[in-house]
Amino acid sequence: MRYVFMFLFLVALVTSDARAQNQQTDWNKPFPPHKVIGNVYYVGSEQLASFLITTPEGHILVNSSFETTVPVIRAAVEKLGFKFSDIKILLGSHAHGDHMEGDALVKELTKAQVMAMEQDVPALRNMKPGGKEHPIDRVLKDGDEVKLGGITLVARRTAGHTKGCTTWTLRVQDGAMSYNVAILGSIGVNPGYVLVNNKDYPDIADDYVKSFKALRSLPVDVFLGAHGSFYDLTTKYAQLEKGGANPFIDPAGFKAHLDRQEKNFTARLDEQKKAATK
């Protein structure tokens, strides 16, 4: 039964990669860049979320996305009035091509320091668009801080989706108020993921359980994520355009997302455990 799971996992990966290549044009469809809160700005495409965190000493970019997404991100940064070349640090959510494939190109264009969670480094090293070596200037551990221009981001290893999946947290000032921001890496279980008897990732189920617990312990006012769909970007942006209260301040939305994903994880785990005993 283990081999059946592994076969399905490999088929899903191949299918997913092929679909990703075919859909990159759609995934790279521009989305209006906008201020989320404080010094945090959305500069991603319609489906692939990237965030610019500005400081007086340069900027931090979270998620380069596909290499073909980089021009979309650059245009968004410049539309907001910032210089793409002022990006000093590049971070990522997890070692999948739709979030970190563009790291080499962003570094080439900006000379930014590229930082990544240590458990994702092997997968990133194998990510070589056009034969480019994947740059990694600083290897991070769970709880490490990334500082620039008075801003501190904390790297939270929330593994399972990948071995080094990272949720970034920071505190931002917006007017007279201060808010806790979380940029969720991902806590979803992709089709084909093997949660039981996974020889390549034996601790995958345990990591998911630990990550749900860790995420629930975080103080979160502003919920963001590696895909806009995680936090209902399209609807919230439309609300933002109408004025009024900032829709991205949504602690209940964060909890609801975790509830949905944990329910899905538990169902998939139980299903695979039953199948493994047959």
pLDDT digits (tens, 9 = 90+) for 212-267: 999 999 999 999 999 999 999 999 999 999 999 999 999 999 999 999 999 999 99
Where does the pLDDT of residue 24 fall: very low under 50, low under 70, confident under 90, or very high at 90 and above? low
Q: Which of 5, 161, 177 is CA-nearest to residue 95?
A: 161
Q: Is the pLDDT of residue 91 over 90?
A: yes
Averaged pLDDT, 167-178: 97
Phi, psi of 175 (to 5 degrees): 65, -130
pLDDT of 33 over the 70 cut: yes
pLDDT band at 26 (very low <50, low <70, confident <90, very high): confident
pLDDT for res 20: 44
The superfamily (CATH) of domain 2-276 is Ribonuclease Z/Hydroxyacylglutathione hydrolase-like (3.60.15.10)
Average pLDDT over the chain reads 93
Rg for the chain, CA atoms, rounded: 18
pLDDT of residue 6: 43
Q: Give DSSP secondary structure letters for 134-189.
A: PP-SEEE-TT-EEEETTEEEEEEE--SSSTT-EEEEEEEEETTEEEEEEEE-----
Neighbours of 255 (CB within 10 A): 14
For the chain, which residues make up each domain, given as ranges? 2-276
CA distance 230 to 144: 24
